[in-house]
Each structure stands twice: as structure tokens, then as C-alpha cells.
Amino acid sequence: MNQINNRFASIEQITDQYLAGKSKDVGLAKSEISFEEILRQKQEISESSELRFSKHAAMRLNDRNINLSQEQSERLENGVSRASEKGIQESLVILDSLAFIVNIPNRTVVTAMEQGESGNNIFTNIDGAVIV
């Protein structure tokens, strides 16, 4: 006769042992790192990310022969960081005679223009503005 060595008497015992092992793993993960720590790390990563320009914004700057100096770039990045601290999602950032619409969570300049180009000076779909 074939003998099968079975450590478990029933499928319920196997299931219970499996689920008990899973809950222990989850408990360890919870105690090792808190939600607050994960959030802080994510914010540090997003704040340290370099400011990007969308294809559209890059074309706008190129078409208008607008070249940002190092100082202007730093001021623009500072304005984006300040907007992020205030919880702004889509911001108008005014820098000298330039206006930028920036998606703050993605740190991406969506469009750029000289202030005189904005026609009647109406900006829509923003929830905050920063003057740098």
C-alpha cells in the first residue's frame, strides 16, 4: 500500500495555516514603515524631481526665441515648489514678462507665453498663481 504522509487533517487546517502566515506578513509590513513615512518619502522624491517642459511648452519657447537664464530657471523651480507646498494642482507662474501654466504634481510646464500674448489676460483651469 501507498502511504501518504500528511501533516494536516483537513483542508480547513491548511487554509487556516496559510491565512495565518499571510496576516503575519501583513503585520510585519505595517510595523516596519508607517503611512506617514511613505508619504514623506514620496513628497521628497517629487520635490527633488527636476522641472520638465512638455513638448508644447518647449515648442512655444523655441518659436518665440525665449531662453531662460539659470537664475530664471531657478526662480521658476522655486515658484513650482512653493505652489506644491500650498497644494496647488495647476498653477499660473509669472516670471518677469513670462507666464507659465504648470502642472504642479507632475512638475511639468504645460505652456509658456509672454504676458502680452495672453490676449485679454484671462487664464482658465488653474487653481493658484505664483509670482516669482
Number of domains the chain is built from? 2
For residue 60, what pLDDT is reported?
93
User: What angle separates helix 35-48 from helix 70-85, to the nearest 10 degrees?
Assistant: 160
Residue range of the domain that includes 102 = 51-131
Both 31 and 84 in one domain: the answer is no
User: Residue 80 has what pLDDT?
Assistant: 96
Check whether residue 31 and residue 81 sit in a common domain: no
Q: How far is CA 27 from CA 35, 37, 41, 78, in A?
A: 13, 16, 21, 40
Backbone angles phi, psi at 86, to 5 degrees: -90, -5
pLDDT tens digits, 29-65: 445 778 888 777 776 665 557 899 999 999 999 998 8
Q: Is residue 5 part of a domain?
A: no
Kindly tell me if the per-residue pLDDT of 118 is higher than 70: no
Confidence of residue 23 (pLDDT cuts 50, 70, 90): low
Which pTM value belongs to this model?
0.63
Walk across the sheet containing 98-103 and list its strands. 52-53, 108-114, 98-103, 90-95, 128-131
